[in-house]
């Protein structure tokens, strides 16, 4: 009976998610990434939210695994890329946007085409787009994923390795692909009082420095955490201390001091 219930629950959420794709019940929130030295905004990370018809916001941690299992992450991921690039193309100067992509999007084999389409529809300079991947992209079938990563690089897009230091992340990935950025997982910053976390934070900062790769410390919530990662030499910081993820309109109001210029409902392709 327990398994039966689980299956019923999964089917119910799967059909809700299919409907969400058809009806585009998704939104992107944006969280600032700051340049440590100047304390200016370098870019914003686009973070997916699913708004149920009842109004409740579902976190990506709850629905991305199901979207991946069902393959729905492919159309959802295409929408995320297009929406994020369109939004960023309205931002001033060279403020960039970072988009998370799933290993399943690589397995599908047409991520470079999706990225190229999002760039051409929005007119966004490829230098302003950063694609964030996790090591799961490289674990299986890594040759094809590597080819796609090289294609993305050729488009002029930057590639970041997210959640670095957790999961199965292996240092050998750093020799297989010239990543532009390492994003240290927030769990290390959250346990800075433990000597081993401090040693890892310091080592990741040095690794980035020695390899000439930008380093970002995620999950900065306090001044103490900020001064620690600043002292270690992280190039960029991201966390609630500087800004929580917020809707696009709020980004424009809070950070660019302007009202919206974009029609919101002509973005779906």
Min separation Cβ 67 and ligand C2E, Å: 8
Q: Which is nearer to ligand C2E, 166 or 203 (CB)?
A: 166
Q: How far is CA 113 from the centre of its chain?
A: 19
Applying CB under 6 A, among 245, 248, 251, 252 the residue interacting with ligand C2E is 245
Q: How many CB atoms lie within 10 A of CB 30?
A: 25
| Cα distance between residue 109 and residue 130, in whole Å | 19
Assess contact for 219 and 243: CB atoms under 8 A.
Answer: no
Task: Kindly indicate which of the ranges 5-13, 33-41, 214-222, 248-256 contains the residues binding ligand C2E, using the contact rule CB under 6 A.
Answer: 214-222
Q: Which is nearer to Mg ion, 100 or 105 (CB)?
A: 100
Assess contact for 192 and 205: CB atoms under 8 A.
Answer: no
Assess contact for 1 and 224: CB atoms under 8 A.
Answer: no
Min separation Cβ 115 and Mg ion, Å: 16
Min separation Cβ 259 and ligand C2E, Å: 26
Applying CB under 6 A, among 31, 122, 235, 236 the residue interacting with ligand C2E is 31
Please give the residues from 57 up to 116 whose contact with ligand C2E meets the rule CB under 6 A.
Answer: 59-61, 64, 77, 80, 100-102
Q: Which is nearer to ligand C2E, 102 or 114 (CB)?
A: 102
Q: Which is nearer to ligand C2E, 3 or 157 (CB)?
A: 157
Min separation Cβ 163 and Mg ion, Å: 4
Alpha-carbon distance values, 158 to 97, 113, 129, 170 (Å): 10, 16, 6, 20
| Cα distance between residue 142 and residue 148, in whole Å | 10
Min separation Cβ 166 and ligand C2E, Å: 10
For 158, the enclosing helix (H) or strand (E) is strand 158-164
| Structure tokens given for 83 | 């929406």
Alpha-carbon distance values, 251 to 43, 48, 109, 126, 221 (Å): 11, 15, 33, 21, 19
| Structure tokens given for 13 | 């959420």
Residue 219 interacts with which of Mg ion, ligand C2E, none, CB < 5 to 8 Å by class: ligand C2E
- Residue corresponding to tokens 């931002």: 91
Applying CB under 6 A, among 17, 41, 47, 252 the residue interacting with ligand C2E is 47
For 99, the enclosing helix (H) or strand (E) is strand 96-100
Q: Which residues bind Mg ion (CB under 5 A)?
A: 100, 132, 162-163
Q: Which is nearer to Mg ion, 203 or 253 (CB)?
A: 203
Min separation Cβ 244 and ligand C2E, Å: 7
Binding region for ligand C2E (CB under 6 A): 31, 47-48, 59-61, 64, 77, 80, 100-102, 132, 162-163, 186, 218-221, 238-240, 245
């Amino acid at each position: 009976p327990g398994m039966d219930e689980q299956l019923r629950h999964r089917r119910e959420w799967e059909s809700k998610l299919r409907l969400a794709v058809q009806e585009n019940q998704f939104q992107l929130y944006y969280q600032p990434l700051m340049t440590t030295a100047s304390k200016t905004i370098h870019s914003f990370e686009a973070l997916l939210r699913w708004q149920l018809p009842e109004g409740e916001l579902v976190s990506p941690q709850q629905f991305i695994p199901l979207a991946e299992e069902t393959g729905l992450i492919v159309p959802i991921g295409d929408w995320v890329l297009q929406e994020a690039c369109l939004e960023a193309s309205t931002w001033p100067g060279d403020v960039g946007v970072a988009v998370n992509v799933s290993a399943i999007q690589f397995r599908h084999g047409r991520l470079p085409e999706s990225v190229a389409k999002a760039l051409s529809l929005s007119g966004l300079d490829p230098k302003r787009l950063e694609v964030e991947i996790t090591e799961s992209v490289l674990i299986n079938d890594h040759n094809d994923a590597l080819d796609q990563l090289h294609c993305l690089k050729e488009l002029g897009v930057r590639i970041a390795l997210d959640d670095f230091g957790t999961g199965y992340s292996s240092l050998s990935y750093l020799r297989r692909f010239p990543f532009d950025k390492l994003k240290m997982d927030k769990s290390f910053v959250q346990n800075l009082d433990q000597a081993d976390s401090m040693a890892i934070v310091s080592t990741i900062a040095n690794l980035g420095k020695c390899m000439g790769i930008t380093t970002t410390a995620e999950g900065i919530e306090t001044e103490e955490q900020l001064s620690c990662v600043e002292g270690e030499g992280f190039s960029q910081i991201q966390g609630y201390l500087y800004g929580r993820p917020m809707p696009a309109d709020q980004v424009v109001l809070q950070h660019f001091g302007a009202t919206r210029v974009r029609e919101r409902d002509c973005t779906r392709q």
